[in-house]
Structure 1
Amino acid sequence: MSDKINRVVLAYSGGLDTSVILKWLQQTYQCEVVTFTADLGQGEELEPARRKAELAGVKPEHIFIDDLREEFVRDFVFPMMRANAAYEGVYLLGTSIARPLIAKRQIEIAKLVGADAVSHGATGKGNDQVRFELGYYALAPDIKVIAPWREWDLTSRTKLIEFAEKHQIPVAKDKRGEAPFSTDANLLHTSSEGKVLEDPWEQVPDYVFSRTVNPEDAPDTPHVITVHFEKGDAVAVDGDPMSPATLLAHLNELGREHGIGRLDLVENRFVGMKSRGMYETPGGTILHVAHRAIESLTLDRGAAHLKDELMPRYAELIYNGFWFSPEREMLQAAIDHSQARVNGTVRLKLYKGGVHVIGRQSPDSLYSEKVVTFEDDQGAYDQRDAAGFIKLNALRLRLLGRRDR
């Protein structure tokens, strides 16, 4: 290798791919490997990753397993929720929003242990390689990045398993066969793609779903909840104050029970191809609906419509990996400014896959029953004013009509 690598920080799950990568890095670069495993609420036991790293010769002080759940929701998910971000109108960006936090912590660890490189297990076909590496370079411009899937010749699952067996890397029995699909999970969502999902005409098999019951099998009785917001962030459910991660986990459980948040999507990847994926975002879907509902009371029309215009650009930046870009930060500043008076409570009915707004109230509401009523408004609104308003707005249309008649 042209550039000598002494120490590399690997984003490590302990699964087959990253276990093989760990050994491959040791062999190929003759370097010391530091492992970093992030707990983002994926619901898996993470201590086995520590034991596997130790078996691979990683020093105990160089094994990092960090609980990032609160930071994830507070500093990444909630700011995105304030924007009502949905890529291509529907995808709530569960995988996308996790990558900048992983990259951030990886760079922090690299600086802490004096590493000169970082590595990840993303393939050369997907979006994650871009998201990780844009994050790395934004935070450490001169860092060396090693992406094994773009370098090695282990191009099939069979070759990965052969490499693992050759180097005494444990391979779970359920990993020896060809995986029916790949998944990624965190506190916000679970995504599944590949293999049985690659034909966009075929319905997603029931066994793919892991976070939600089938809406058809959900309870026959609706469940009514309230979500309370302060400055655009959810802070309580049914009157109980909760931390960001605890609140999202609680909404996830409610969403799971009622089959909420399933999405079958053909999306446009940043690298240029279309891909079909299945996403489950139970709590995030509830939050998304609730936040728009409280904004409907508290945001001025101009601010609300401008936010809706900015949202696709904001969502695309996150999807493409530009969380640390100046344009995302500029948009975030505008979005956060808009949330100063987004306070109040939304009442929702959860029923068989649906989230239905059935009430909302706010101390900062711009809704005036006195103005909008069909009954006597007691002079709050002079309907005669509408005639001039309409005539002024119709002026250019009348001029066009006279010319073109």
Structure 2
Amino acid sequence: MSQQGTKEKVVLAYSGGLDTSVMVKWLQLEKDLDVIAICGNVGQDAEDLGWIERKAHDMGAVRSCALDMREEYAETVLAQAIASNALYENRYPLLSALSRPLIARHLVELAHETGAAYIAHGCTGKGNDQVRFETSIRALDPGIVVLAPAREWNLLTREQEMEWAKTHGVPVPATVEKPYSIDDNLWGRAIECGDLEDPWAEPPADIWTMTRDPMLAPDEPEEITVGFEGGRPVSLNGQKMRLLELIVELNRVCGRHGFGRLSMIEDRVVGIKSHECYECPAALALIGMHQELETLCLDGSTLRCKHQVDQRWATAVYEGKWYSQLKGSLDAFCAYTQRHVTGEVRARLYKGVLSVCGRRSPYSLYDPSLATYGDDDSFDRSLASGFIGIHSLPSAIWSARQGPASGMGGLRTFAAEDQKRTPSA
């Protein structure tokens, strides 16, 4: 790919793990490119990523940098995920899918700064992240050429990659004995491969690092209270915190009580099902508590509509469409609904379970005088008869013209049809 003796540049999304470590050397040897390695700190276990910079340099990268994106990740990405109750397939809080568009934007910015014509990523050829990175990059700059070595080389297994790395002097952290693929950030950990490829097998105990075994969690429950302002978490147990700090602390507290584990069958963008394990203590706690506050602050019609928007938002982001007209439009809807989602939610942690036990808001739509059956009841029951007459009018007309009262089919007929549709025990 070099021209007239001058090598072209490629910006590589570099994690320091097996795949991208091999790629630093592979891009030099197979593509004849100068490699610029960039690692984004979005809350991985290691806060000091200087070792990643040095490792890339030692393997011949002409430039290597580790950027601290944690604050930006929390404030500009995770805050939106909470407002949108982002749970893909109603379970997975999108931890990997959320970090990719932020990293992609920094990749594009670095390519512009250095004049690189290429961007490379370390995603596998049948995973979701290749879709997310490339869709984001093309949305930001369609002129950049994206390289995906894992779709080109003949290293089809992790064992083959480790053998190639050994042959070419590339140090890697993975071993054959524990070949899990792990992606972690502020929002949690994603674990796959190895023994986890059998959906019948129980995930090995050694994959969990953020959460204690619920059976070994404290015997005494612990209560937490999260404060929200405009849909954004702002305090924990009455103490004001930046979102980054709050997430870190909730990961610690919830993890200590064994809350936040997921083992699920997930539908990937590329059309295959996979067995995925996740640890997301703070993510699941904040989304769950935020949903509870919304039930207090949003009217029923808006709440039902937002359930649909939340699912569409999560699916769009899962599919890599962070930079899209659809996602921007969904953001606008969610932002409008969050104007009065302010208040506190109290929850109890015990043996792997988080149970909401209280919620309050200065903008609550819950009216005790309307809800109560006690002496303070202010609900006007005389309105119910007229309401029910109007509400049931379509059903009454249908029954008279086409249904049970029409003579075209009595109650016995409808009962028989229902029984046909009900599978026998």
Question: How high is the TM-score relative to the length of structure 2?
Answer: 0.91
Q: Give me the whole-angstrom Cα distance separating, in 1, the residues matched to 2:164 and 2:202.
A: 35
C-alpha separation in 1, matches of 2:7 and 2:291: 49
Give 2:111's aligned residue: 110
Q: Give yes or no for the alignment of 1:283 onto 2:285.
A: no
- For residue 95 of structure 1, give the secondary structure of its aligned residue in structure 2: helix
How far is 1:193 from its partner?
Answer: 1.2
Letter in 2 for 1:40: V
Counterpart amino acid of residue 29 in structure 2: Q
Q: Can you list the C-alpha shifts for 1:279-324, whole angstroms capped at 9, x where unaligned?
A: 1100111101110111111111121111012122111101111111
Q: What is the match of residue 28 of structure 2? A: 26
Q: Is the 8 A contact 1:127 1:269 kept in 2?
A: yes
Contact persistence 1:5–1:117 (CA under 8 A): no
**AA in 1 matched with 2:340:** R
Which structure 1 residue ranges, 4+ long, deviate > 6 Å from structure 2?
A: 2-5
- 1:97 matched to 2:98? The reply is yes
Distance in 1 between the 2:359 and 2:237 partners? 13
Pair 1:78–1:179, CA change in 2 (3 A): same
* Alignment check: 8 A CA contact 2:2 2:32 kept: no
In the superposition, relative to structure 1, how do residues 305 and 50 fare at CA in structure 2: closer, same or farther (>3 Å)?
same
Q: Residues 157 and 396 (structure 1 numbering): CA distance in 2 closer, same or farther, change over 3 Å?
A: closer
Match of 2:13 among 8, 11, 14: 11
Is 1:58 the equivalent of 2:61? Answer: yes
Structure 1 residue 178: Cα displacement? 4.9
Answer whether contact 2:24 2:61 (CA < 8 A) is retained.
Answer: no
Deviation at 1:5, TM superposition (A): 6.6
1:391 is paired with a residue whose SS is helix
Contact kept in structure 2, 1:84 and 1:311, CA below 8 Å = yes
Q: Percent sequence identity over matched residues?
A: 41
The answer to whether the 8 Å contact 2:2/2:33 transfers is no
> 1:47: which partner in 2?
50
Residue aligned with 1:58, SS: coil
Match of 2:161 in 1: 160
1:298 matches 2:297: yes
> Secondary structure in 1 aligned to 2:262?
strand
Which residue of structure 2 lines up, in the alignment, with residue 69 of structure 1? 70
Q: Distance in 1 between matches of 2:296 and 2:177?
A: 51
Q: Distance in 2 between matches of 1:43 and 1:165?
A: 25
Of structures 1 and 2, the larger Rg is shown by 2
Question: What value does the CA root-mean-square deviation take over the aligned residues?
Answer: 1.6
* Aligned counterparts of 2:93 and 2:43: Cα–Cα separation in 1: 17
CA distance in 1, matches of 2:291, 2:317: 19
**Local SS of the residue matching 2:340:** coil
Q: Give per-residue Cα distances to partners, 1:89-134, cap 9 Å, x unaligned.
A: 1111111111111111111111111111110100001000000100
Structure 1: which 5+ residue stretches go unaligned?
Answer: none
In 2, the alpha carbon distance for the partners of 1:268 and 1:256 equals 26
Report the Cα distance in structure 2 between the residues aligned to 1:79 and 1:398, rounded to whole angstroms.
Answer: 45
Matching of residues 249-398 of structure 1 within 5 Å: 249-377=248-376, 380-398=378-396
- State the one-letter code of the partner of 2:58: L
Number of positions where the alignment pairs a residue of Structure 1 with one of Structure 2: 400
SS in 2 for 1:315: helix
User: For residue 100 of structure 1, what is the amino acid of its counterpart?
Assistant: P
- Tell me if structure 2 keeps the 8 A contact 1:225–1:349: yes
Structure 2: tracts of 5 or more residues without a match: 405-425
- The amino acid of 1:95's aligned partner reads S
SS in 2 for 1:145: strand
Q: Where do residues 178-193 of structure 1 align in structure 2 (5 Å cutoff)? A: 178-193=177-192
SS in structure 2 opposite 1:339? helix
Q: Kindly indicate whether the alpha-carbon contact (under 8 Å) linking 2:263 and 2:277 is maintained by their aligned counterparts in 1.
A: yes
**Distance in 2 between the 1:281 and 1:97 partners?**
13
Residues 2 and 9 (structure 1), Cα distance of their counterparts in 2 relative to 1, 3 Å cut:
closer
For 1:72, give the aligned amino acid. Answer: Y
How far apart are residue 167 of structure 1 and its match? Answer: 2.6
3-state DSSP class of the match of 1:374?
coil
2:37 — aligned with what?
Answer: 35
Q: Is the 8 A contact 1:5 1:116 kept in 2?
A: no
Q: Distance in 2 between matches of 1:171 and 1:281?
A: 26
Deviates more, 1:72-81 or 1:230-239: 72-81
Q: CA deviation at 1:51?
A: 1.4
Q: Deviations over 1:185-224 (max 9, x none)?
A: 1110111112201111111121121110011111111101
Q: Matches of 1:156 and 1:363 in 2, distance apart? A: 56
Task: Show the counterpart of 2:135.
Answer: 134
Residues in 1 aligned to 2:219 and 2:100: alpha-carbon distance in whole angstroms: 38
Question: TM (normalized to structure 1)?
Answer: 0.95
